[in-house]
Structure 1
């Protein structure tokens, strides 16, 4: 009898508490077209029958704004009775079948380009699938699939295949040689979302590297042909505290990548490589956006002409040239101010001014190499951004970089998307 009374009063108590709470009677999704309503419901924490909580709703909206398919999202709450409310999520979609183009040149008449096509919302479930063709003296291609919500709203998978061939400079004994370099790889990574701001990726990459001498200096210590198969273990930790308002960004993001590479060739030692990207963005007034990226990277300090960190026009220093140097450590700082010059409807024209700077540790060198003036590159420049607000990542950029350090070059960099 006593147990029955306890259960009765417990049920009455929790029923009374629940009755005092504001309950969601219905969650409606409006405005989405290609993005599936069922997918939005599956990744949302707000459900019919749960207690109305503005912090949970705001987290859902932020999660939706991270999706490539979503240009903007917001919510409304409507009172239906004294204790029940209807919640409506409004979705403004991006067009997500996107061509890509990257073109880069220097005053040494170098010219390379990369064209591609990518669908960022395959099957209406935020699955990315696409590829590219690259012409950098030699032809290359890649295909990739990324499904972050494949198994659940926390667990996904990505698969990448690439066959890249480039003419790479190799630096040794104060001289330079050009090698035809080919990298063919297959990568499989698991994706796990811890919470709204934190996620990890981890997996394995099997690849083959092939070097063939083309021209330049030679040495008995540097092979003219090299073909080796390698395994790469990869781990990525991503803290993403960014907030998006269409093309404007504010907040902090930190992206840490660690790789361990082991070779099937006993002549080549195993090595590690790690780098950390710290981003900081701030909106300035109605039209300004200040962006910063600090990259710090280190690898095993082997004295090798095939060091992993490069000084490259299209990666870290605008205007410097295509892979002009290599190192086993890297510190790069990019800062730029973006200002909206014109905005009407879907079209935005931005101007930007930037400073790119970096320094490298020589293969087999010391940490003091980072302060060696010969290793320090500083470039400044300006550019334009042509932005389509309703197409995902539809930002066509043109940048001109001019070197401020000794024996510097200058050049144009074209591409899709912001530089960082």
Structure 2
């Protein structure tokens, strides 16, 4: 008995002393056509010459599946020689040069739309580059560039220029006034990824805002023309622990956005604004997906018709209309159940049933405004999704929302991509 124990101890000691770590001999990428293999190696945690680590392999695959250029990924490990192993990353690529069409009902039943064209895997390096044209009574455009791994596997840069012109309502004590609102801006952001789940964006923008009275109610306290130059500081923190399997998503994601705006003018004071989005997704059976977004936002509580949070079917409540109210704080819950009705090869038809609900604080009001039924909106509805599994964000959606709260409306919202 003692002899057996001694032999076991000796075997264990020898195993520890003479065992060798499994080393990555080479990291190979298969299945890629547009995406550069050098880019995948650049952002991967697994490195040639380092110890083979299954946790790093799993993290790399999850990260690859989040990239716009990749619809699915997996890995295999093969013994090369001695204690050396080859690692193969197999990827299925998305088509990433994407036209975008968004259509929604504006006030007075006007139809607003946005046309865009983006390459979400520009140069095969996960760079998003493109622009849009929007018609919301007036013409607008924007050009956007975002390269999250431009400088290293952690650091990147985003640049944006937009010239937005819209007909927007301002809600005065005497009624509703319509203004021509324009915003011309240029923005730069530094992007940094701490690890697989946590990242930040820091930067700012310089922009010019112009308000020109068109029609509707007037007030002696509200000028009919304003031209303001402003600076904006922005900080965004993202936590992302989502896992993707084609059209299905599971896990949680949280995004915190803080902005501070300063302007040298007598009419508007410096103000802050922040909002936080918490997303929760859960697979239900083989074909179901429960999706939730809870948004809370607070801004400086100025008693002004220029309040930053709007009630808008293109942003938060499907079917409510285009900017029907404004507030200085908000609580919004979007919950929906997505179900795959039909799937064959690359095509998926998905149905969904949803409830969008929200409440707002009036400009200059109190947080108790949240509990005032006049400020609450509840819109259940149904929709369809037409999905191409191998084209990035190729989800054409149609939603119909029907309001059940006081003085509610109803309407159809079209768009590209899931609502959230």
Contact 1:63 1:196 in 2 (8 A): yes
**Residues 2-401 of structure 1 mapped to structure 2, 5 A cutoff:** 20-105=20-105, 108-173=108-173, 175-401=175-401
Q: SS where residue 80 of structure 1 aligns? A: strand
What is the alpha-carbon distance in structure 1 between the residues aligned to residue 80 and residue 33 of structure 2?
A: 27
Q: TM-score, normalised by structure 2?
A: 0.95
For the residues of structure 1 that align with 2:386 and 2:89, how far apart are their CA atoms?
29
Per-residue Cα deviation, 1:237-266 (whole angstroms, up to 9, x for no partner): 000011111111000001000000001213
CA–CA distance in structure 2, aligned partners of residues 388 and 271 of structure 1 = 43
Structure 1 residues 82-91 or 180-189, which shifts more?
82-91
C-alpha distance in 2 between matches for 1:285 and 1:107:
40
User: In structure 2, how many angstroms separate the alpha carbons of the residues matched to 1:18 and 1:345?
Assistant: 50
In structure 1, stretches of 5+ residues that fail to align are 1-15
SS at match of 2:55: helix
Q: Distance in 2 between matches of 1:143 and 1:283?
A: 36
Which runs of structure 2 are paired with 1:403-414 in the superposition (5 Å)? Answer: 403-414=403-414
- What SS does the aligned partner of 1:363 have? coil
- Cα deviation 1:50-72 (Å, max 9, x = unaligned): 11110011111111111100100
Cα shift readout 1:243-292 (whole Å, capped 9, x = no counterpart): 11111100000100000000121332000000000000001011000000
Partner of 2:9: none
Report SS of the residue matched to 1:265: coil
* Contact map agreement 1:106 1:409 (CA 8 A) in 2: no
Q: 1:22 to 1:137 in 2, by over 3 A?
A: same
- Answer with 72-81 or 129-138: which moved more: 72-81
- Give the gaps of 5 or more residues in structure 2: 1-15
CA-based RMSD: 1.4
Q: Whole-Å Cα distance in 1 between the matches of residues 204 and 350 of structure 2?
A: 39
Mark the CA change 1:235 to 1:107 in structure 2 (over 3 Å): closer, same or farther: closer
Q: Give the match's secondary structure for 1:20.
A: coil
Alpha-carbon separation, structure 1, partners of 2:151 and 2:266: 39
| d(CA) in 2 for partners of 1:237, 1:42 | 23
Cα pair 2:142 2:161 within 8 Å, conserved: yes
Tell me if the contact between 2:106 and 2:136 (Cα under 8 Å) persists in the aligned partners.
no
SS in 1 for 2:39: helix
Contact 1:167 1:180 in 2 (8 A): yes
Counterpart Cα distance in 2 of 1:188 and 1:85:
43
Q: Please report how far the alpha carbon of residue 19 of structure 1 lies from its aligned counterpart in structure 2 after TM superposition.
A: 5.5
Counterpart Cα distance in 2 of 1:163 and 1:112: 16
Displacement of 1:107: 9.2
| Structure 2 Cα separation of the partners of residues 385 and 137 of structure 1 | 28
Counterpart Cα distance in 2 of 1:282 and 1:345: 23
3-state DSSP of counterpart to 2:178: strand
In structure 2, the residue corresponding to 1:230 is in which secondary structure?
strand
